[in-house]
Amino acid sequence: MTILRFAADLRSLPQPVMFVPTMGGLHEGHLNLIHAAKRHGGTVVASIFVNPTQFGDRADFDAYQRDLGRDGELAEGAGCDVIFAPSVEQMYPGGTEATRVHVPEVTDKWEGEHRPSHFDGVATVVSALFNMVRPAKAFFGQKDWQQCVVVAKMVRDLGYPIELRFEETVREPHGLAMSSRNERLSADARRRAAVLYTAIRKTADEFRLGGEPRAAEANTSTILLQGGFESVDYVAIVDEDTLAQADLPTGQHRVIAAAQIEGVRLIDNIRV
């Protein structure tokens, strides 16, 4: 496996390129994306770049895991051919306050409301990475469903000739969605955090069977608070494509949620 630092070095890679963008701190969820990319053939490239423009909280950015040696070993074991690990200067030659990509409408609520400018940072870095890596296909996990919707809209609106693949969320044995943030939790909080998945599954079942959606969302928030979460940012039943809050179980929907436990903010979602 090769580690590259500069975009120019990507130009000579054998085509097609299968791309897995990450911020490092690799876990089984990321490795599942690399496995999926490998099955599609071509050269598998994973980026490792902790993107400063998508963090509103500097402490959160500083606390993010950084261990390129460990990540490289895991990625190589999963079948990755190339790690692209650029610097901030490489990704933002005009500085982090320079040109931004904004994806309207689907970034207004939910994560966008609680983390202002977060999705501008996501869209900007993903756009830049797409321009540098030039993949045929790009692979993302479904854990952050709103991010999937944002990236899909950006690709459509800007005409990127890239096929997007959104892979199923990989979970720990008790149901908690795999996340590098889980490592910040105590063993007890990690166990209690599994109620997030249990609760949104219950919400999905209630809505599917005709339950009143706002009541189901409120009940889930209560379950999370009673289960050990300190705060709940949102629980919402939304249209899968537009992220508009749903009233009737017609079409495709997701239950999305965000809550904090031991000061660690966790997100999850499930298809109805």
Residue 139 has pLDDT above 90, yes or no: yes
Q: How confident is the model at residue 64 (pLDDT cuts 50, 70, 90)?
A: confident
Q: What is the pLDDT of residues 211-236, one digit of tens each?
A: 999 999 999 999 999 999 999 999 99
Residue 166 has pLDDT above 90, yes or no: yes
What does the pLDDT average to over 257-271?
97
CB atoms within 10 A of CB 69: 8
Residue 56 has pLDDT above 90, yes or no: no
- The whole-number pLDDT of residue 58 equals 78
Q: How confident is the model at residue 61 (pLDDT cuts 50, 70, 90)?
A: confident
Taking alpha carbons only, the member of 246, 218, 254 closest to residue 234 is 218
State pTM to two decimals. Answer: 0.95
**Domain 2-167, classified CATH 3.40.50.620, yes or no:** yes
Mean pLDDT in the chain? Answer: 96
What does the pLDDT average to over 26-39?
98
Question: Is 93 in contact with 73 (CB distance < 8 Å)?
Answer: no
- The whole-number pLDDT of residue 60 equals 77
What does the pLDDT average to over 24-35?
97
Q: What is the pLDDT of residues 177-224, one digit of tens each?
A: 999 999 999 999 999 999 999 999 999 999 999 999 999 999 999 999
Give the architecture-level CATH label for domain 180-264: 2-Layer Sandwich (3.30)
30 assigned to active site: yes
Question: Is 224 in contact with 172 (CB distance < 8 Å)?
Answer: no
CA distance 108 to 119: 9
- State the catalytic residue, choosing from 30, 118, 174, 253: 30
- The whole-number pLDDT of residue 40 equals 97
Residues 6 or more apart whose Cβ sits within 8 Å of residue 226: none
Domain ranges of the chain: 2-167, 180-264
Residues 6 or more apart whose Cβ sits within 8 Å of residue 223: 195, 199, 202
- The whole-number pLDDT of residue 59 equals 76
Of all residues in the chain, the percent with pLDDT exceeding 90 is 94
